[in-house]
Amino acid sequence: MSRNYLKKADLTAASGADDVRDTVQSILNDIEARGDAGALEYAAKFDRYEGNIKLTPAEIEAAAALVPEKLKQDIQFAHDNVRRFAEAQMATMKDIEVEVVPGLIAGQKSIPVRTAGCYIPGGRYSHIASAIMTVTTASVAGCENIIACSPPRPDVGIAPAIIYAAHICGANSILALGGVQGVAAMAFGLFDLPKADILVGPGNQFVAEAKRILFGRVGIDMFAGPTDSLILADKTADAAIVAADLVGQAEHGYNSPVWLVTDDQALAERVLELVPGLIADLPELNAKNAEAAWRDYAEVIVCDTREEMAATSDDYAPEHLTVQAEDLDWWLGRLKCYGSLFLGEETTVAFGDKASGTNHVLPTSGAAKYTGGLSVHKYMKIVTWQRATREGAKPVAEATARISRLEGMEGHARTADIRLAKYFPDEDFDLTAAM
């Protein structure tokens, strides 16, 4: 496969990552041992916040009053889109039953987890959309308890728009806590709340590590690293739009990889010319993030054919994948590894990030090779059941007894024997293990 790197990354998303595990484990242990008091202490230390943690209805109402009406309408628009898409996903989940053999019926049933803990970032940026993405899907899935948790601003509290979004999307409780202490509060059931059965939502490396450590005791949506995006573009793509989309995703953070894969070298060279100016034109903090991400993590790759482009994309398995090329149906059918796909220049990752309806909590760092993003399905337990008539149980019991004895599991075999002896006392069965 021919891949010509016009720009090669010096670093990867894993490069230079701080070893935060010991720190996070220590905080989790301390909070679990000391409960609410421990969480409050870390809130004062890290969030520099000593206000009310569990928001009251009056505080939620007061926050909503601070949100401009136009922004409320935008939040409602995005919520409606995410809800409609989630409802359509739910419609694909059907309880089933099938008669496996005559008299033996097996079934599948979908049951939502009882309590979802939704982490909503609120540090460098106020992630209103994360409240919409996580809380709405939990609500549509049918979770009984939905806890939203977001970092408070020092001496101020959670951004009013985040509070408003979490509330209208269905959060039963809202906690003004950030970082590890916020994750711990949801996982351990602090502040008189039920323990979360699943933790979802993006966050910084400390939040991600807390979820990783707690996985097993609770479910999580996925192991998350820095956000990443890849664009597939051919000669028909608009270089200005491609460059703007790359920069738009690079502003997430200093270690957020963005990649361009194309079969048109002239397009690649033009994008390389445009990106620095677009970064320089951003607000200072955004520009700082995008500049570092572009300098250290971005790549521009030229391939010979569109098949090589698709294969390259599948190897990278990006969180966000954009196609700005001819024959979009071919790409839709060919591409296999991505978190969310954006076909044509008429859509962009930012649409999915904020308001189009698909979820923006997606697999990063190549995890799209084996998993998809957050959806109603993440909150559902797919369980099975069975029942049988005595005649239906007969052949199953015979096979079970013989297989169990072959495995050396005599106790298992005897649970089949006793049923055959009770139901069919006049029959003689060969239940020995044949080698």
Residue pair 245/349 in contact (Cβ under 8 Å)? The answer is yes
CA dist 113 and 141 (Å) reads 9
CA dist 287 and 295 (Å) reads 12
Please name which of 344, 342, 264 lies closest in space to residue 301, comparing C-alpha atoms: 264
Residue pair 373/349 in contact (Cβ under 8 Å)? The answer is no
Q: How far is CA 249 from the centre of its chain?
A: 17
The pair of structure tokens assigned to 126 is 């106020």
400, burial (CB in 10 Å: exposed 0-12, middle 13-18, buried 19+):
buried
CA dist 101 and 107 (Å) reads 13
Beta-strand relationship, 299-303 and 3-7: antiparallel
**Vertex 290 angle, CA 289 and 294, to 5°:** 125
Under 8 Å CB-to-CB from 335, ≥6 apart: which residues?
A: 310, 313, 314, 321, 323, 341
Annotation says 97 is catalytic:
no
- Beta-carbon neighbour count of residue 197 at 10 Å? 20
Give the residues across from 295 on adjacent strands. Answer: none
Q: Which of 167, 252, 320, 360 is catalytic?
A: 320
CA dist 262 and 236 (Å) reads 11
Q: Which of 127, 251, 319, 360 is catalytic?
A: 319
- Beta-carbon neighbour count of residue 259 at 10 Å? 23
75, burial (CB in 10 Å: exposed 0-12, middle 13-18, buried 19+):
buried
Q: Edge to edge, what strands does the sheet with 340-343 contain?
A: 3-7, 299-303, 258-262, 229-233, 320-324, 340-343
Annotation says 319 is catalytic:
yes
Q: Which helix (H) or strand (E) holds 200?
A: strand 198-200
Residues serving a catalytic function are 319-320
